[in-house]
Amino acid sequence: MMIALIDTVAIWFPGSLALLALIFASGFFSGSETAIFYLSRSELRKFSKGKPSEQVVAALAADADRLLTAVLFWNLLINLSYFAVAGVIARRLADQGMTAAAGVFTVGSLLAIILFGEVLPKSLSIVFRKKIAILVSWPLAVSVRLLDPVIPLLQQISRLMRRTFWPHIQKESYLHSEDLERAVDASGSSEEVIRHERQILHNILDLSEILVEEAMRPRGTYLTFNMPVQLEDLTRITPETDYIILRKRDTETDEIERIISLTELSSFSEKMLNQKSKRVIHVPWCANLSDVYSRFQAEECHFASVVDEYGETIGI
């Protein structure tokens, strides 16, 4: 069989090169789609204010329908071309009396497009989503832009199909937290939600009833430093220290300006310490945790300074 394959190299080699190119193209679009749609909202917000390539990623993700329509169209076109070329090669091999080789080639080409055109790119894109999203941003943007004249038509066809096959889909009414809590309680008699998961859901719902002063770390239980932090300040750090709290520059007050999470540092230098510092929001002691969490999401922040009725910091 090997000698026969060498003799018929003119039949299958050019087509195999085309198949390799189509596998690469399929992997490009599959991986690009996965990488962008796996980005979190906070990552996309950072991208929108970042480098040009990062802004392109954020712009593509902002119009998800347009992006998904373009990716599906290109993937469909690539897959149809791939199987058409593979079919032609297999048919030519069969015409030469190499039916076994034709069968092996057909199965091999199918496995190749599944593994290298879908599974592997998607797996890598999940793990390295930020790097891959930035890498593919410009080529993907060009590919989407090429389809702009026909994307409205494709979206209209999609809407017509949804209305034809699922005409009675209605928007669900707004669900209040009290309704959700009752639903969690009602599910207690079933096996769908085990005790541990049900307790987690209750804890989430209880955030609206817990004040920040009940959950904060009181003043005096953490170290504070003046901005900018110096390396000699680190001599006060103990193994239990997880955060470095930075006060306002040139003040002796306890008003917190920024926070450094030591768990995010891979090395210690003055430049690294000050670059990794993150701003804090200031919340009153009487705010509840759910409101603070909402502000965290809205303002892209993860730390809060708790102040009393006089505006003095009493914890974090």
- Which of 145, 165, 185 terminates a domain? The answer is 165
Cα–Cα dist 123/126, whole Å? 5
The reply to whether 158 and 220 lie within a common domain is no
- Burial class (CB within 10 angstroms; exposed 0-12, middle 13-18, buried 19+) of 124: middle
Q: Which domain holds residue 268?
A: 212-315
- Angle of helix 52-62 relative to helix 64-95, nearest 10 degrees, comes to 90
180 found inside a domain: no
The reply to whether 7 and 137 lie within a common domain is yes
The reply to whether 155 and 292 lie within a common domain is no
Residue type, 29: F
279 found inside a domain: yes
How many structural domains does the chain have? 2
Per-residue pLDDT of the chain (316 residues; tens, 9 = 90+): 556 556 667 777 888 899 999 999 999 999 999 999 999 887 888 898 888 999 999 999 998 888 998 999 999 999 999 999 999 998 988 888 888 888 888 999 999 999 999 999 999 999 999 999 999 999 999 999 999 888 888 878 877 887 777 776 666 666 566 666 666 566 555 565 567 666 777 777 777 788 888 888 888 777 777 777 666 666 666 656 677 777 776 556 667 878 877 766 655 555 666 666 778 888 898 888 888 888 887 777 788 888 888 878 888 8
The reply to whether 33 and 112 lie within a common domain is yes
The reply to whether 160 and 37 lie within a common domain is yes
CATH of the domain at 262: 3.10.580.10
The reply to whether 264 and 160 lie within a common domain is no
283 found inside a domain: yes
The reply to whether 118 and 29 lie within a common domain is yes
238 found inside a domain: yes
> Would you give the end-to-end CA distance of the chain in angstroms?
74
Give SS3 for 221: coil
The reply to whether 130 and 218 lie within a common domain is no
Cα–Cα dist 245/256, whole Å? 7
**What single-letter DSSP state applies at residue 187?**
G
Smallest CA-to-CA distance from 185 within 195, 175, 176 is with: 195
- Burial class (CB within 10 angstroms; exposed 0-12, middle 13-18, buried 19+) of 149: exposed
Cα–Cα dist 177/294, whole Å? 15
The reply to whether 19 and 102 lie within a common domain is yes
The reply to whether 254 and 134 lie within a common domain is no
The reply to whether 17 and 152 lie within a common domain is yes
- Which of 109, 132, 165 terminates a domain? The answer is 165
